[in-house]
Every structure is written in structure tokens, then in C-alpha cells.
Amino acid sequence: NEFHVQKTSDVYSWYTEMVMDDVAYDLCIANGDEWNSSTKKAYLERIKLSGYHIYACIDTEVQAMVDEIYTDLSQVPDTKSAQQLLSAIVVIDNRTGDVVAVAGSVGEKTAFDATNHATEDDPKQTGSAMKPVAVYGPAFESGLVSPVTCLPDLPLSYDGGRFPNNVTRRYNVGNSVFDGIVESNNTISVHTLKKIGLDYAYEFASQKFRIDGLVKEEKLESGRTISDIGYAPLGLGALTFGVSVEDMANAYATFPNGGEFREARTYTKVYDSDGNLILDNTQETEQILSEKANKYINYCLRGVVKNNSAVNLGATAAAGKTGTTSDARDRWFCGYTDYYTAAVWCGYKQPEEIKVTSGTGSNPACTMWAKVMKKLHEGKDWKDISNTSGMKSFSVCIDSGGLATSACSADPRGDRVQSVKAYNEDRPTKSCDKHITVDWCTAGDGAANEYCRLAGATIT
């Protein structure tokens, strides 16, 4: 779509402003200038006045559907706060990897350069939405972990204490990686991180998924050093500064694209008023996940949606992950179908706990994501997003990580067996060695011996 920025008005759509910002930045860097607030203003003015021909990636039909939801405040879930709940969304077309629609906030846009909650100008902590990008994607690619891997469902002894807590404050001693993802289990996430290494996870998220805003190491004026190379930032999404909705959508779009990362863009080319090409925004791509690793992540994230009716689209299969920050001040859902990927954030201008009123669902980001995505998929054919061909279902004991036996199901605490799919090379090599079946003497309330039988005691 070709468009010309009109200099007669200072109020532009969220998408137009994103294009202007992206073009301004690329022009600034191409000319060897330092990008700051002054140069940004200068290059934006140049775009307004120079008659550039900019070819944008917007899909006007998709954008209209997003606007129908996001400009109508009655579509935004009600909360118990006196503040208006805010939200932002970025939609990527999986056929091209391009950004085709954006909303930087809710309600009508009435000002130029208003705060766009979808871009790096307003980074947010992500909560568990970061786990597929910084933990499980890298873990599956490393080959050290698969969905059938069982890890301790217990906190680590870390930094002088016990970390982390599960949201429910319940721990199952052991759990599969698959169930840990579906249940958004914090302990499984950090134990996975421990297995693959923090440095590896950080480099994968920042270099492969290209999540800007992650901090490798930074020394503050106070002398304190901050870093996102840690269990809380990577494993729980408790980031130092946060990341953008755009970056999260871009990262998740890798999964429906067969593990190939594509640099999402808002424009393709820019010509000057004389028809000279001044910017060629060729898309960068890189295969960052193997076929197996990508099928594993799709299988697990499809399980998340099957377990969450709020984001079940019905018309087609979907996959994705929720995110909740400390005290529920930020709520996320990043998800995808075969057609589109969309990331949604919800929160307030002045952060506080989000408490939705009854009947609107517990996570407003899920609600907004589903409203938009249901519109985008009206009339489209049902397509699966999780291809498990070549994978087999294995019954594993979550305590030992071995193949389950009949004794694993007879545990007094309840059934300890989970059925999880994986490739045959990732199946457990041994059977469970934690559970055994014994005869029990009810009279002595202990393991039965020959004297129990001689005495005629009841044996179970």
C-alpha cells in the first residue's frame, strides 16, 4: 500500500505513526546520524514535507477490524479501577511476516505522537509470555529438554532463599515440561533454565528472537549492576526494563513459520519525490529453530489454548501463552493461528492490579485477543497449528521421569502418570525406579511379612 504523509494534519493513525517512526529511524541511521529525540523530530518533519512515496505493509481490511474493537471503549473489559483499562495489539500476517495492523491504545486517537503502548517507546514486563521465547524455545533447540522431560516441581535454593513460587503456591514434586508449559508452572521454567544455562537462554532470546530491551549488563550511577541474565527475568518475565508488544508478536510469529524468524516490518520501500529509491527495507530471515524444536513448541502452546476457553477461537486452531506480572499489573496474551500472529498487552497508565468485573474473563488480554482474532478468521478454513506427525505418546512417571509402571498410578498421593507426546529418540530410556508395589498388612499398618499371613491378617 502506497501512501503519502499529509502535512495538513498532525493526527495520524497508530499504523501511520509507526511507519513514520520506522522510516525516520532508518533514514537517520543511513545518513550516519545519532538517533535521539532531536534527530527523530527533524526526520519526522522531513517525512512530512518531502513528498516521499512510502510503501507500507498495512492490510486495510485487517486494520479496520482491529480499529472496530480498539476504538470502541465498550469492547474493552470492565475493571474495578477508576482508571480506563488500556490495551495494545500488533498483528502479523504469517504469509509475509509483516506487521499488517496495530493499535497503540484504546479509544479514538486524538493527538500526534501519543504514547504507543505497542512499540519500544513503552516497554513492558511480560510475565510468563516470555517463557516460550527465553526458556522453552531455546531448551527444545538445545536438545537437552523435550515435552516428555520431567523436572522438579519445587523451588530452587537460590540467592539465600527459595525461588520461585508457583502462582497457586502448590508444588507437585515433579512434572513434565509439557504440563509445566500448559499450567504456566514457574518452577518447571526455572529448572529448565538451570538445565540449559542462563547465558545460552539470554543469547537465544536477544540474538535469535531479537528481543530488544533485554539488558546484558548495565552499571547504574549508584554503582549497582543490573542484568536480565537471571532466573527471574528470563524464567518469569520479570525484566529490568521490559520489551515491546511488537517484539513479542515478532518472536511468536516464528512458531507458525516453521521456526524461521523474520524481521517484521511496517514498510518495504521509500522513494523520494523524483522517484529515486532511498530506502529498501528488505526483510531479514534466519532459521532459528529446527523442525523438531518448533513442532515441540507448537504442540505445547496448542495445549495452552486447549486448556483456556477464553482464547479458543473455534473457527480454527490457535496456540499461544498468557503472561501476568507481579501483582497482576500487566496482562498479556501472545498467540497465533496458521493465518495470523497477534500479541496483546493490557494495563493502566498508573500501574495497579487489574481486577476485572464478573463475566469478562480473568485475563483481559485474552478477551481482546479473541475479539480481534475471531473477526480476522470469519469465513476462513479450519487449519491445525500443531503437527505432531512422527511423535508418539509416552506414559511417564513425573517423579522419576522414567516410563510409568502400574505402581506409579497407585501412589497414595494420586496418579503420578502423564501421557506426553515426543519423538522416539527423546523417550525415557528407563522405567520408573521410584515406585514399587508391596503387600500391606492392615493389622500392623505396614509392609506385610510371613507372620502377617500366618496370623491371617488382611493383606492388601
User: According to the model, what pLDDT value does residue 186 have?
Assistant: 94
For 86-127, how does the pLDDT look when each residue is reduced to its tens digit (9 = 90+)? 999 999 999 999 999 999 999 999 988 889 999 998 999 999
Residue 399 has which C-alpha cell?
A: 517423579
For residue 357, how far is the Cα from the chain centroid?
25
Distance CA 309, CA 227 (A): 36
pLDDT at 5: 58
d(CA 135, CA 261): 17
Residue 87, strand partner residues: 346
The backbone torsions φ and ψ at residue 400, rounded to the nearest 5 degrees and listed phi first, read: -100, -25
Q: Which residue has the cell 505522537?
A: 113
pTM for the structure as a whole: 0.93
Instruction: Tell me the per-residue pLDDT of 21-36, one tens digit each, with 9 for 90 and over.
Output: 999 999 999 999 999 9
Mean pLDDT of 344-365: 91
The predicted pLDDT at position 3 comes to 59
Decide which of 442 and 407 is more confident: 407
Q: Provide the strand spans (E) within 376-416.
A: 392-397
What mean pLDDT, rounded, does the chain reach? 93
How high is the pLDDT of residue 347? 97
Residue 188 has pLDDT above 70, yes or no: yes
pLDDT tens digits for range 301-329: 999 999 999 999 988 999 999 999 989 99
Residue 88 backbone class (left: φ over 0; alpha: ψ -120 to 50; beta: rest): beta
Q: Is the predicted pLDDT of residue 4 greater than 80, yes or no? A: no
Q: Inform me whether the pLDDT recorded for 154 exceeds 80.
A: yes
Angle, nearest 10°, between helix axes 364-376 and 60-70? 140
The pLDDT of residue 142 is above 90: yes
- C-alpha 221/C-alpha 298 separation (Å) is 43
CA dist 15 → 18, 59, 423, 431 (Å): 5, 10, 42, 56
Cell numbers standing for residue 165:
513460587
